[in-house]
A and B are shown apart, each in its own frame.
Chain A
Amino acid sequence: MRSIVSIILIGIIALGITLALIVIPFGEPRTEVGKYYIDKGIEDTGATNIVTSVVVNYRGFDTLGEVTILFIAAIGLGAVLATQKKRKLEKKVTPASLILYTGCRFLFPLILLFGAYIFIHGHLSPGGGFQGGAIIASAFVLIYLSCRGRRLPVALTKAIESLGGLVFIIVGLVGLSLGGYFLLNFLPKGVPNTLFSAGIIPIIYIAIGLKVGLELTGIIDNLVEESK
């Protein structure tokens, strides 16, 4: 009975949403803000990836809010899953097979290098801090799969993660103090399409990449602890 009423209600809502949004034409150029960002993007920031210049330079404050939300979620997860009694878990851990063990240990530095490449070249090619951070976290998940019973050095990763967040805020405050607004692009723009260009954008993306990667690894580490 309850499911039939639910399906009818969802049907009415779906009909309403469809009738309201079906008049949006597909594939027509529409906004003026997008045109301004594409035309003036390279002069204002020096980054050739326009999506990166929108995320870090034109709408940089939204990125600061997003990093804060991820930080709060990671801390909340650690606080909810902390147990009162610290039982020393000396169960028998079955080791992984030889192919898994060797393959994951061989792939781990290569995947770390690939993730670092993606967030360093965020202003030149598709990529950026969040994508590179997710790839670094998946490299650490491979280590959890193959070398069982091995844990992350928690103090070191928390220190690097906090350092990444601090670098973001300090770069913004330096921009504020140099006469302007928060997150002003104060370094020289350089020649477009080279590595050392686009002002503060590579610095912010390196900080975000390290922070997000180690944060997602910390989330998986909190979930894996004391699992049967």
Chain B
Amino acid sequence: MNLLSNVVNFLNNYLYYIGAFGLVFIGLCIILIKRNLIKVIIGLSILDTGVNLFLISVGYISKGTAPIFSKPGLDSALMVDPVPQALVLTAIVIGVAVLALALSLAIRLYHHYGTLNLRKIKEQRW
């Protein structure tokens, strides 16, 4: 029973951090190891999602609620921090803009070289 309460305590403190760091780690692995260009862009998208999850989990307050005054007299002492949410909203939209532009460049590269393998493109050169 002591082991169970220890595990629950550990999970309560570190669970969201483990999820966010895991996503960042896997995204970095995909970018460095894989050879296909579209796989690399998928890894970029996963890395982006991991960083956004980390930013939101830093702004969380225990037993807090969403920062919206739906009724006029709500208690404002236990509301979650609104500033990281505004920053992550911007970051998600910028992420999708970068991904769309990267995919258009990948399509152009395929039309020019005939392959999407990064080793072969480096060897061809012209």
Contacts and interface: CB of A to CB of B under 8 A. Distances in A.
Q: Judge A-B direct contact (beta carbons within 8 Å).
A: yes
Interface of A: 3, 6-7, 10, 13-14, 17-18, 21-22, 24-31, 33-34, 37-39, 42, 48-51, 54-55, 59, 62-63, 66, 69-70, 72-74, 76-77, 80-81, 125-126, 128, 130, 192-193, 212, 216, 219, 222-223
B53 interface: no
B67 to A, nearest CB: 4
Closest 3 CB pairs of A and B: A73-B97, A27-B62, A34-B81
Given A55-B86, A62-B90, A80-B108, 6 more contacts: A6-B33, A26-B12, A48-B68, A54-B85, A70-B97, A72-B97
B97 to A, nearest CB: 4
Interface of B: 12-14, 16-17, 21, 24-25, 28-29, 32-33, 57-62, 66-70, 72, 76, 79, 81-83, 85-86, 89-90, 92-94, 96-98, 100-101, 103-105, 107-108
Dominant secondary structure of chain A at its interface with chain B:
helix
B126 to A, nearest CB: 20
B104 A80 contact: yes
Contacts of B14: 22, 26
Dominant secondary structure of chain B at its interface with chain A:
helix
Contacts, number: 126
Contacts of B72: 192-193
A48 B69 contact: yes
A50 to B, nearest CB: 4
Query: Which of B17, B58, B59, B89 is the most central at the interface, judged by chain A CB atoms within 10 Å of its CB?
Result: B89
19 contacts: A3-B33, A6-B33, A10-B25, A26-B14, A27-B13, A27-B60, A34-B83, A37-B83, A38-B76, A48-B69, A51-B82, A69-B94, A73-B98, A74-B97, A76-B104, A80-B105, A80-B108, A125-B68, A193-B69
Contacts of B86: 51, 54-55, 59
Contacts of B62: 27-28
Given A22-B17, A24-B58, A38-B76, A223 B104 contact: yes
Nearest to B12: A26
A18 B83 CA distance: 24
A77 B76 contact: no
A177 to B, nearest CB: 27
B21 A18 contact: yes
Contact of B100 (A22, A192, A219): A219
